[in-house]
Structure 1
Amino acid sequence: MAREDPTHTRKCPICKLKGVVWESSPPSDDTTARKLVYWHVRDKHSGYRYFCNVSGCNYSVAYADKPEIKNRHARTEHGGGYEGETLRDTSVASQAASSFTTANIAVPSTSTSQGSSYISQASPTPAPFITTNLHPVVPAANVTTFSTLNDAI
């Protein structure tokens, strides 16, 4: 007698976080159902990644590669110190970054009398704040300012 397929292998766990139900269409066996869910996650939720919870570590893997954090990354990078992982939607951060245009960046000017470069004192318009009901999955913002880039040169 064939083993009955548990419901969780047929439903997308990310859609569930969003309050939507996506389920692989029957009839399918356990293996096919898991593959259908995997393909759905890969195609529809490619921005979701698991991030290592070790303080100061920014390692991340695709949703389907979650075991890599515990099995390989924690062992090789943190001496076996596994502190879990957090699922984040990195596409939210990408959307915020793309709405911030170069027109909002202060233009550097050069003072010829002093022979030095300095950044204009004009304050750039900040990127809009994105609110979402998926607060635990939103990545921390990493902001690179023009002065940071100028110092690197």
Structure 2
Amino acid sequence: MTILYGVFTQGDFFQRNDSFCWIRPDYLIGAVIIPLTILSINAILTIFIMSLRLFPHFKISKLIRTSSTKINKISNKEARERAFVLFLVQFTLGVPWLLQYFTLFEPKATAWHFLFVIVNGSQGIIILISFIYRCYGTYKSYHLQKRLWT
């Protein structure tokens, strides 16, 4: 949507004349605000769906799921770990969008710009670490169950 908006403005999209490569303030609503609103709505729905999948013992999950779906009980420790990973991933993905709002109206590089770059650049590493942590936990519980069966 932002790319189409930029194409249809025929290059005026980034023409600020202040040595700063960013969207002009008069194009912010169509180029930034509307796409971010769509992404925010998507994030809320995604968090809801992820919560249902990560925490199947919640009452709302029981109302939504059919009777043929088996709901496993999880321990408090596992629930805390899942909540932490969910929060960490969502925080890492959402903070750059929040920081972007602080950078919109400033024509010079500020601390918000640097924080945006740092957090945005670390997203992949943080998601990789949370994935490895989750795989390690699954591996450990699998081998514990395997040892109990033998």
The reply to whether TM is greater than 0.5 is no
Normalized per residue, the structure richer in helix is 2
- TM-score with structure 1 setting the length: 0.23
Normalized per residue, the structure richer in strand is 1
- TM-score with structure 2 setting the length: 0.24
